[in-house]
Each structure stands twice: as C-alpha cells, then as structure tokens.
C-alpha cells in the first residue's frame, strides 16, 4: 500500500477507528496488537513477541496477552465486516469446543476474522519457534469449526465483507462498496 493501512480513512474515520468501533460493538475488552508508540492513543496495546512474523505473530501476541478463553481476532484491513456476522461468529464459538472458529470463503480460510481459544497460543508458539508462520497450516493440528460459504449465505451474509485491503486497487473497491452501503458498518 505504501502507507500504514490502519490510518487510511474511510468515511472520515481511520480503518483502525472503524475496526475498534466494530469490535466494541460485540465484545468488552479490546486490545490492539502493534507498536505502543504508534497505537497507545487508541487503546491497550500488546506487542508481538515474535516480530515481523505476520498475522500468526499477531494472533500469538493477542492470545498471550489475553485473560479470556475466547478471543475475537479481526484484521484492521477488513473495512466491510458486518457486526451481525461477528455476533454470529462469537455465538458459534461459544457453543462449540473448537480451538478456532473461522469462516472459509471460496475454499480459503479467513483467519483474521475468527475466534481463537487461548490454548491456540501454544500451537502458535511452537510453529513460530520453528519459523513456521502460516496460520491456516496449523488448522489441521487443532480442532476447528469452519463457517462455510453455504452457511454464510444461509444466514444472510455476503463474502464481500472479507475483502481486505492490500493494494491501492483493493482500497478503491472497498471505498466504493462502503459508499454503496451508505457508509454503515
């Protein structure tokens, strides 16, 4: 992107502000994984224990810094997430004993929109220590509850909400979709 995605603005709010508001709408305690110097003005910050290891490093840090069994993990670069879906995701996770509850769209997991039990930190720690950084490569090692495309559709959700922002083109598409929704979460 050439810039920190967290501070891109959509409808006058940064993606970080948008993600924090979304998270607060479905859960009480919110933590940001990142650099405290950059993010402490926005809330409690947890630093990566394994630096520069991508999303798995962030999930690991979040779980190690958590006191709760179930932990909703959302990426800052998912501006189209639907809070109704997050509530459903949490409800599903509470009713099963899987270590991970995660949607799968077109055969691809959405690991940065999932619920992780704190015990997943042990698996993540072992993988990171072995220089294995892929989240979904760990899913065969744990119990997982997958929310399929069909289940998403049956519940009235669109996979568009998982469109993340990695390129200027992605950003433009996300802004257009957000505007088409009337700028609503």
Sorted by where each begins, the domain ranges of the chain are: 5-180
> Closest Cα to residue 184, out of 4, 6, 13?
13
Calculate helix-pair angle for 54-64, 120-129, nearest 10 degrees. Answer: 140
Higher per-residue pLDDT: 105 or 8: 105
pLDDT at 1: 55
Q: What is the mean pLDDT of the chain?
A: 91
Q: How crowded is residue 165: how many other Cβ atoms within 10 Å of its Cβ?
A: 23
Statement: residue 19 has pLDDT above 80: yes
Region of residue 153 (left: phi > 0; alpha: psi -120 to 50; beta: else): alpha
Sign of CA dihedral 94, 31, 84, 116: negative
What are the φ/ψ torsions at residue 8 (nearest 5 degrees)?
Answer: -65, 145
Domain 5-180, CATH 3.50.50.60 — does that match? no
pLDDT surpasses 60 at 185: no
What pLDDT does 70 receive?
97
**Whether 88 contacts 145, CB under 8 Å:** no
Contacts of 1 (CB under 8 A, 6+ apart): 8, 165, 166, 167, 168, 171
Residue 28 has which token pair? 């009480």
Q: Give residue 11's pLDDT band: very low, low, confident or very high (50, 70, 90).
A: confident
Confidence of residue 184 (pLDDT cuts 50, 70, 90): low
Q: Which pLDDT score, from 0 to 100, does residue 182 have?
A: 67
pLDDT tens by residue, 39-81 = 999 999 999 999 999 999 999 999 999 999 999 999 998 888 9
């Amino acid at each position: 992107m050439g810039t920190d995605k967290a501070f891109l603005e959509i409808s006058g709010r940064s993606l970080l502000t948008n993600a924090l508001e979304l998270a607060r709408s479905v859960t009480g305690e919110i933590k940001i994984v990142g650099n405290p110097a950059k993010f402490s003005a926005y809330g409690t910050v947890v630093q990566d224990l394994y630096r520069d290891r991508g999303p798995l490093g962030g999930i690991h840090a979040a779980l190690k810094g958590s006191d709760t069994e179930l932990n909703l993990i959302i990426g800052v670069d998912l501006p189209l997430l639907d809070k109704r879906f997050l509530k459903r995701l949490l409800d599903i996770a509470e009713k099963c004993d899987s270590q991970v509850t995660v949607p799968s769209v077109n055969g691809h997991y959405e690991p940065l929109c999932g619920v992780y039990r704190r015990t997943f930190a042990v698996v993540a720690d072992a993988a990171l220590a072995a220089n294995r950084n892929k989240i979904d490569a760990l899913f065969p090692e744990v119990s997982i509850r997958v929310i399929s495309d069909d289940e998403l559709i049956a519940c009235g959700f669109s996979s568009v909400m998982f469109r993340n922002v990695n390129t200027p083109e992605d950003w433009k598409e996300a802004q257009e979709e957000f505007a088409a929704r009337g700028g609503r979460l």
